[in-house]
Amino acid sequence: MTGKPFRIDIPQAALDDLAARLDRVRWPDELPGAGWEYGIPLARVRELAGRWRHGYDWRAQEAALNALPQFVDEIDGQTVHYVHVRSPAADALPLILTHGWPGSFTEFLDVIEPLSREFHLVIPSIPGFGFSGPTRDRGWDTTRVARAWAELMRRLGYRRYGAQGGDWGSGISTALAAVAPDQVAGVHLNYLPTPPPPGGITGLSAEDERRLAHTTAYAANRPGYQVLHMTTPQTLAYALTDSAVGQLAWIAERFARWTDPASRIPDDRLLTDVMLYWLTGTAGSSARLAKESSYGGRPPCPAPVGVAVFAHDITLSVRPVAERLFDIRHWSEFDRGGHFAAMEVPELFAGDVRKFFGSLA
């Protein structure tokens, strides 16, 4: 049993409404010389909003996305949207790729072609995100998403497969191995927080000590967006669902802060990602994932794990800590790339995924 073919077809009225909102933005003030100290600068948001209103072509982006084989299914009472690209190699390993926040399935556009040479690719939208639509009930945490992924892969006829993810995709991928241990051959992660273990750890290198200190400080001083997602996502949803520029700034700031300064994600790629949140009204439901998932911890992962550490990510993994929690079979360190590695450095990302799963053969 498989899902129904899906085609993106946004009503023109929704695009006209967006244009009207962008024409009547009520801009905030800004302190002279504030830069990034108080948040994303006014000049940068004005630049993006101007491009969104006068240069960005959604219909062209829509047509490009519709070139991908997309489907929707209902799993556990929830719509699940996904891209499914079969490899020309009939015996290829199936691989499910999971995005995070504020990303989307479009994070993987540049790695579909190289990875599909060796893998059957399944790229879903997390329930509550984009075309998977708002979640309809409580309890959609990373483990429940993982159970939905296991059911999706079962329906697609895949009995043995790999999982890959960063950000939320990291927790979902390891949870998938926990809920479907006989099906998941291995898990590749490009983001793995490694907080200090209870009782501490000794014998670390100076670099690992630095990373651990940064992770500890980050956890103790969580950024404002994360606190709001974990505590009052509904309150936040009113502002982001009503204000297109508010949604734009909320997402654009994360892309700016979490990427390698040398990376250049085109503005139109960023705007397409923003559009998936705006057009589907999923600002609130995507934020709810943080509140729902904050009630439980990460389940044990029985599968072999590969980790790719990109130098400009939010936090950098510490291998001796990771090895206490996971069966680490592969570890790569890259001096380029950040949190959105598949978009920033697709060649490094795809190569590392191939290398890890190739080592398990």
For residue 128, give the CATH number of its domain: 3.40.50.1820
Predicted model pTM = 0.97
Residue 86 sits at the vertex; the CA angle it makes with 268 and 5, to the nearest 5 degrees, is 70
Helix (H, G, I), strand (E, B) or coil at 123: strand
Q: Is the dihedral of CA 7, 241, 288, 349 positive or negative?
A: positive
Domain holding 293, by residue range, is 45-360
The proportion of the chain whose per-residue pLDDT surpasses 70, expressed as a percent, equals 99
Give the confidence band of 1 by pLDDT, cuts at 50, 70, 90: low
Residue 11 belongs to some domain of the structure = no
Per-residue pLDDT, 295: 72
Q: Average of pLDDT values for 11-35?
A: 98
DSSP one-letter string for 253-322? HHHHHHS-TT----HHHHHHHHHHHHHHT-HHHHHHHHHHHTTS-PPP--SEEEEEEEEESSS---HHHH
Q: Give residue-wise pLDDT tens across range 93-147.
A: 999 999 999 999 999 999 999 999 999 999 999 999 999 999 999 999 999 999 9
Q: Are residues 310 and 334 in contact, defined by beta-carbon separation less than 8 angstroms?
A: yes
Per-residue pLDDT, 73: 98
Residue 346 belongs to some domain of the structure = yes
d(C-alpha 287, C-alpha 175), whole Å: 19
Residue 343 belongs to some domain of the structure = yes
Domains in the chain, number: 1
Instruction: State residue 305 phi and psi, 5-degree precision.
Output: -125, 135
Residue 251 belongs to some domain of the structure = yes
Asked if residue 162 has pLDDT above 90, the reply is yes
Q: Which residues lie closer than 8 Å to 235 by C-beta, 6 or more apart?
A: 228
The residue among 361, 346, 339 whose CA lies nearest residue 251 is: 339
Residue type at position 118: E
Residue 16 belongs to some domain of the structure = no
For residue 52, what are its two tokens?
């969104």
Asked if residue 203 has pLDDT above 80, the reply is yes
Q: Are residues 320 and 208 in contact, defined by beta-carbon separation less than 8 angstroms?
A: yes
For residue 31, what are its two tokens?
């302190």
Residue 17 belongs to some domain of the structure = no
Instruction: State residue 4 phi and psi, 5-degree precision.
Output: -90, 140
Instruction: State residue 214 phi and psi, 5-degree precision.
Output: -65, -45
d(C-alpha 239, C-alpha 68), whole Å: 32
Helix (H, G, I), strand (E, B) or coil at 213: helix
Asked if residue 296 has pLDDT above 80, the reply is no
Q: Which residues pair with 76 in a beta bridge?
A: none
Residue 356 belongs to some domain of the structure = yes
Residue 274 belongs to some domain of the structure = yes
Between β-strands 304-312 and 184-189, what pairing exists: parallel, antiparallel or unpaired?
parallel
Buried b / exposed e over 227-245, threshold 16 CB at 10 Å, is ebbbeebeebbeebbebbb
